[in-house]
Structure 1
């Protein structure tokens, strides 16, 4: 896709995060099953529900703005998900794997935070008032998930991994 305008960039970035979210909906159930900490498993399951809502919000943005997303695959999310698979395959189930998956999930959250922040800034500049609240809602959810993962790591995940 040739990007020539801010609107082209907005559509490209929205298409990219749409792909990322769709990939994540397939990866999160696998993560929830791969961990031993029930609170971490529940956090992954909760984030799956949020991710499905986020995909729906992108669909709403597309409808409200009358735009078409591009059929692209988010290579960054693909790589982050592959790292998670490597951790699942390469680390015995237990606290060390849980800690690795918390770290991997936070990488995902940071990518999503950067993406939604960028897209929201573009929406604001382009005057897409119908899209901005939906984007900001998702951005806040991503920040909250990152904070929850930090709490899980701090409240025992990393200590359990260090003791293992």
Structure 2
């Protein structure tokens, strides 16, 4: 059943609650991911891929600062709700690292996993961007869109790395 969105009353309250839950989860996800990217960089074989993953860890720190601004704009304390999706993706990465340690395909396996993570982030930030737009939260929408564009760019960068570098070994 499809319902029509109405930017009034209970719908607005519930959408704001939904945005808050998403915000808490993605805040947790970014914190988890910074540590994960550093671990991936340590495990990667190629210096180029190591550098790329360390760059993503730095990007995560910047994204956390943007999320803190959204929390502040919503008069909420900046804290996370354990993101089980990110936790699962990072556990999958640990398994993949263990299975491909010392193997020339480790970089390709890491790129594939980081792309899965980026796709999760694209979905999360795209959703929060839409919610913020629907609620006329222009500052939050702009911040979410900035992060969304960065995640899409990272996804394209990973595809290029996979096609032009890691998968050719």
Instruction: Tell me if 1:95 matches 2:111.
Output: no
In the aligned structure 2, how far is the partner of 1:56 from the partner of 1:69?
10
1:90 CA drift (Å): 1.7
Asked whether the 8 Å contact 1:29–1:44 carries over to 2, the reply is yes
TM-score by length of 2: 0.89
Question: Which residue of the other structure, out of 29, 42, 46, is the alignment partner of 1:20?
Answer: 29
Question: Which residue of the other structure, out of 29, 39, 49, is the alignment partner of 1:30?
Answer: 39
Matches within 5 A, 1:7-156: 7-68=16-77, 71-156=80-165
The count of corresponding residues between Structure 1 and Structure 2 is: 157
Cα RMSD, aligned residues only: 1.3
Which string of whole-angstrom CA distances, capped at 9 and with x for unpartnered residues, describes residues 31-60 of structure 1? 001011111111001111100000010001
In the aligned structure 1, how far is the partner of 2:116 from the partner of 2:38?
17
Asked whether the 8 Å contact 1:35–1:98 carries over to 2, the reply is yes
Secondary structure of the residue that 1:95 maps to in structure 2? Answer: coil
TM-score by length of 1: 0.91
Higher relative contact order (CA 8 A, sep 6+): 1
Asked whether the 8 Å contact 2:68–2:78 carries over to 1, the reply is no
In the aligned structure 2, how far is the partner of 1:41 from the partner of 1:93?
15
Q: Work out which of the two has the higher radius of gyration on C-alpha atoms and give 1 or 2.
A: 2
Moved over 2 A (4+): 67-71, 92-95
